[in-house]
């Protein structure tokens, strides 16, 4: 009876299950479990009778389907959602790279922060006399001040 063909393997470790008679009055199912299996020390017994053996086999062979009924559909849905997120993220990355390149190009053409610019287009080094004059004269450079007749003339 140890090679009974109707037995499923252990549901946890896949160990081969055996049906045997214990004494004169009992059937026993025991499996060759892998070390660490939750059923390692488990044996399933029932009285020897024609009506009990099918119940014992049914109890041992009963398995719980741990997957949801719509698992394949849900997996496909999640894969599509992930693909959409990847596409969106890749588009974001491309847009971000384009904007960074545009900002870099604008920085190259923009006036330097080390130069103070007047409305007339004159530029003065930030720590120069001209910049200091502009700061003291409401942002107007010496040349603009001279052009308006307010400054000294040589």
Residue 141 forms part of a structural domain: yes
Q: Is 28 exposed, middle or buried (0-12, 13-18, 19+ CB in 10 A)?
A: middle
Token pair of 143, please?
Answer: 């040349």
Residue 127 forms part of a structural domain: yes
Residue 107 forms part of a structural domain: no
Q: At 148, is the pLDDT very low, low, confident or very high (cuts 50, 70, 90)?
A: low
Q: Give the count of domains, the chain.
A: 2
pLDDT in tens, 93-110: 999 999 999 988 887 777
pLDDT in tens, 103-147: 888 877 776 667 777 777 787 777 777 777 777 777 777 777 655
- Tell me the Ramachandran region of residue 121: left when phi exceeds 0, alpha when psi lies from -120 to 50, beta otherwise: left
Residue 55 forms part of a structural domain: yes
Q: Which domain holds residue 126?
A: 115-147
Between these two residues, 26 and 3, which has the higher pLDDT value? 26
Residue 1 forms part of a structural domain: no
Q: Is 123 exposed, middle or buried (0-12, 13-18, 19+ CB in 10 A)?
A: middle
Instruction: Tell whether the model's pLDDT for residue 79 goes beyond 70.
Output: yes
Between these two residues, 146 and 76, which has the higher pLDDT value? 76
Residue 21 forms part of a structural domain: yes
């Amino acid at each position: 009876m140890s090679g009974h063909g109707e037995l499923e393997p252990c549901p946890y470790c896949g160990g081969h299950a055996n049906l045997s008679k214990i004494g004169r009055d009992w059937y026993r199912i025991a499996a060759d479990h892998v070390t660490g299996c939750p059923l390692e020390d488990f044996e399933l017994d029932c009285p020897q009778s024609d009506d009990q053996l099918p119940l014992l086999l049914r109890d041992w062979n009963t398995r719980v389907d741990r997957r949801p009924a719509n698992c394949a559909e849900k997996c496909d849905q999640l894969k599509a959602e992930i693909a959409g997120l990847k596409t969106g993220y890749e588009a974001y990355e491309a847009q971000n790279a384009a904007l960074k390149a545009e900002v870099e190009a604008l920085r190259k053409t923009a006036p330097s922060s080390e130069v103070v610019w007047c409305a007339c287009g004159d530029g003065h080094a930030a720590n120069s006399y001209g910049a200091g004059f502009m700061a003291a004269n409401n942002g107007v450079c010496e040349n603009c001040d001279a052009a308006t007749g307010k400054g000294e003339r040589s």
